[in-house]
Amino acid sequence: MTTPERVTHREVREILRTFQDSGWAAMTLELDGMRITVGKDGPPATAGQSAAPAPVPALASTPMPAAAPATAVPPAASAPAAPAPPAPAADVDTAGCIEVRSQTVGAFWVAPGPGEPPFVQVGQIVEAGQQIAIVEVMKLMNPVVTPHGGEIVQICATNADLVEFDQVLFLIRPTDG
């Protein structure tokens, strides 16, 4: 049996629904370079786990007792969203920029919550490992972090957009090597 080339949003949703209905306390699933780690009572700790730049809250799509408190809650789809990034300018110099890509399929959020300022804006200098957005999959908040320090040159997705796995979200001109 061969692995499909891409995991669809529907398949991710079904996997998370199956996990929620299971008797498991935690699960890590790796498919096609995508890693999903969820826990019913909070983010699971695994042996040898490296420190993550920001905790990923594990929230189910339906209320469950003893859910872990969220550290970053994105705006609800029906709530007024944070201001959308400006449309990409045709004359933006992207030479030497690195691409920050989505690690999963989901909803793209530029701010940690409704009415809060965006994580970053075009022209802002960021540090390596800094959280710059969220991609939400079925109430599971996946932080988007910078692999290098540098200047945000372009925000390639709009707040509340559904983004695909490996889609370019940001262009950053690196300053730290």
* Choice between 99 and 29, residue whose per-residue pLDDT is larger: 99
Q: Is residue 65 part of a domain?
A: no
Q: Is residue 2 part of a domain?
A: no
pLDDT attached to residue 58: 40
Between strands 34-39 and 26-31, the pairing is antiparallel
Between strands 131-137 and 106-109, the pairing is antiparallel
State whether the Cα torsion 51-162-28-61 is positive or negative: positive
Which structural domain, as residue segments, surrounds residue 111?
Answer: 98-174
Between strands 150-155 and 26-31, the pairing is unpaired
Residue 73: pLDDT band by 50, 70, 90 thresholds? very low
Q: Is residue 117 part of a domain?
A: yes
Q: How many domains does the chain have?
A: 1
CA nearest neighbour of 71 among 5, 11, 19, 134: 134
Residue 44: pLDDT band by 50, 70, 90 thresholds? low
Q: Where are the alpha helices (DSSP H) in 8-59?
A: 9-21
Q: Is residue 159 part of a domain?
A: yes
- pLDDT tens digits for range 95-154: 899 999 999 999 999 999 888 999 999 999 999 999 999 999 988 999 999 999 999 999
Average pLDDT, the chain: 74
User: CATH code at 122?
Assistant: 2.40.50.100
Sheet with 125-126, side-by-side order of all strands? 98-101, 168-174, 150-155, 125-126
Percent of the chain, pLDDT > 90? 41
The most distant pair of C-alpha atoms in the chain lies apart, rounded to whole Å, by 54
